């Protein structure tokens, strides 16, 4: 059975979706352009069938938000598997600097934020802060936004991903949608999150 929009079934790759198609509040009847910005969990573990489907999306750039520690500890990580038909360029744009992703720093961050709405909001704010910090030489969010603001019209398709395609990928996706004027969806998600129980939030953000 195929995935329902905005999700796209890519065998071997979790949480793959197109952020396009979202209504733009300031322009009734208009939507964020489809087939430009895709998001997912790590794509290098796609199956051969999944790789063929990825080729069909004509993605020119893959922006990897994972830290250097994540890459070095991922034994199965194979950069060659990210190059689909020789047309996709992988760009490493880690959100967190090495000192921010040290084991003790990661544990402290999880303990600090907990599973409350306020904790999640603070965690997402920290992602935004780290990604835009002057000492983050990778300039992850700036690099991605520069791709979208390039002279080509429309911009070439891109894939944004981290390990699970949730927190870091979700923050930049929300930022892009916000800049496009798709605020109604973001407000709806905020209301939905506030209505969830602590158990539901833990389940949602654990995977």
pLDDT (tens digit, 9 = 90+) per residue, 109-152?
777 666 666 777 778 888 888 998 999 999 999 999 999 998 77
Separation CA 105–CA 67 (nearest Å): 13
Nearest of 100, 101, 47 to residue 71 by alpha carbon: 101
Domain ranges of the chain: 17-204
Q: CA 156, CA 63: separation in Å to the nearest integer? A: 13
Who has greater pLDDT, 121 or 53?
Answer: 53
Map tokens 């303990």 to a residue.
111
Cβ-contact 19, 37 below 8 angstroms: yes
Residue 188 burial class via C-beta count within 10 angstroms: exposed 0-12, middle 13-18, buried 19 and up:
exposed
Q: Which of 91-95, 136-140, 193-197 has the lowest mean pLDDT?
A: 193-197
If one looks up domain 17-204 in CATH, what number appears?
Answer: 3.90.190
pLDDT, one tens digit per residue, over 98-110 is 888 888 877 777 7
**The tokens 């992988």 sit on which residue?**
90
d(CA 63, CA 141): 10
Residue 14, SS3?
coil
Is-contact 18 37, C-beta < 8 A?
yes
The number of C-alpha atoms within 13 Å of 128 and in the hemisphere containing its C-beta is 13
Q: Residue 192, Cβ neighbours under 10 Å: how many?
A: 9
Distance of CA 194 to the CA centre of its chain: 22
Q: Please name which of 25, 28, 78, 81 lies closest in space to residue 54, comparing C-alpha atoms.
A: 81
Instruction: Extract the tokens encoding 132.
Output: 């835009």
Q: How far apart are CA 44 and CA 83, in angstroms?
A: 9
Q: Are 77 and 46 in contact (CB under 8 A)?
A: no
Query: pLDDT digits over 176-186, tens only?
Result: 998 888 866 55
Beta bridge partners of 10: 13
- Name residue, tokens 């979706």: 17
């Amino acid at each position: 059975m195929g995935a329902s929009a905005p999700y796209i079934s890519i065998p071997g790759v979790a949480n793959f979706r197109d952020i396009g198609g979202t209504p733009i509040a300031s322009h009734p009847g208009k939507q964020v352009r489809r087939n430009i910005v895709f998001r997912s969990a790590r794509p290098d573990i796609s199956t051969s069938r999944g790789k063929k489907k990825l080729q069909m999306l004509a993605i020119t750039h893959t922006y990897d938000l994972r830290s250097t520690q994540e890459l070095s500890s991922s034994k199965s990580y194979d950069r060659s598997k990210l190059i689909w038909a020789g047309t996709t360029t992988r760009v490493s744009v880690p959100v967190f600097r090495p000192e921010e992703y040290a084991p003790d720093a990661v544990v402290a961050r999880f303990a600090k934020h907990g599973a409350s709405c306020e904790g999640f909001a603070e965690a997402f704010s920290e992602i935004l802060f780290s990604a835009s910090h002057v000492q983050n030489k990778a300039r992850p969010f700036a690099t991605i936004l520069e791709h979208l603001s390039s002279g080509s019209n429309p911009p070439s398709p891109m894939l944004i991903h981290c390990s699970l395609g949730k927190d870091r990928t979700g923050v930049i996706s929300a930022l892009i949608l916000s800049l496009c004027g798709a605020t109604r969806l973001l407000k709806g998600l905020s209301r939905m999150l506030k209505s969830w129980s602590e158990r539901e939030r833990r389940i949602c953000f654990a995977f």
